[in-house]
Amino acid sequence: PYPGGCQLRAASLRAESRGEKAITQVSKGTCEQGPSIVTPPKDIWNVTGAQVYLSCEVIGIPTPVLIWNKVKRGHYGVQRTELLPGDRDNLAIQTRGGPEKHEVTGWVLVSPLSKEDAGEYECHASNSQGQASASAKITVVDALHEIPVKKGR
């Protein structure tokens, strides 16, 4: 990719001077690219009854579609995913465009948090060029003192 037509012409002239094939413009539009995770969700520890959320930012051209899954591991490590929110009345999914062009930000809000909500949550982005995903765990504890203290803070 070249930032502009002048850079493309200059690169083409350099290539021709070396006896290589001229570089030509294929498209005036932006180059398509598969999704990539800009900001992945982070692991959360909290108590039953709390309100928690996971967030995820993705980018791609064309702008990706973002969905959330809860990952379930069955026998022999077989992985299943449950598309969220499903029929859960304590879970909400929100998605918006941005903050940058071709970027999408999504959230999972869980309120109130219950033991059944513990597990791995996956942010999954897809477009015509591919897919990307990132995941985080929600851990539910009975009391605040059970939450591990992060070092360095």
Task: Quick: pLDDT tens for 30-40.
Answer: 678 999 999 99
Among candidate residues 128, 138, 131, 129, the one with its CA nearest the CA of residue 108? 138
pLDDT in tens, 83-99: 999 999 999 999 999 99
* Structural tokens at position 50: 């709390």
Q: For residue 126, count other CB atoms closer than 10 A to its CB.
A: 17
Q: Which run of H or E residues covers position 13?
A: helix 5-17
Question: pLDDT band at residue 49, thresholds of 50, 70 and 90?
Answer: very high
Q: Does the pTM exceed 0.85?
A: no
Is a pLDDT exceeding 70 seen at residue 74?
yes
Task: For each of the domains in the chain, give its residue range(s) and CATH number, in order of start.
Answer: 1-29 (no CATH), 32-143 (2.60.40.10)
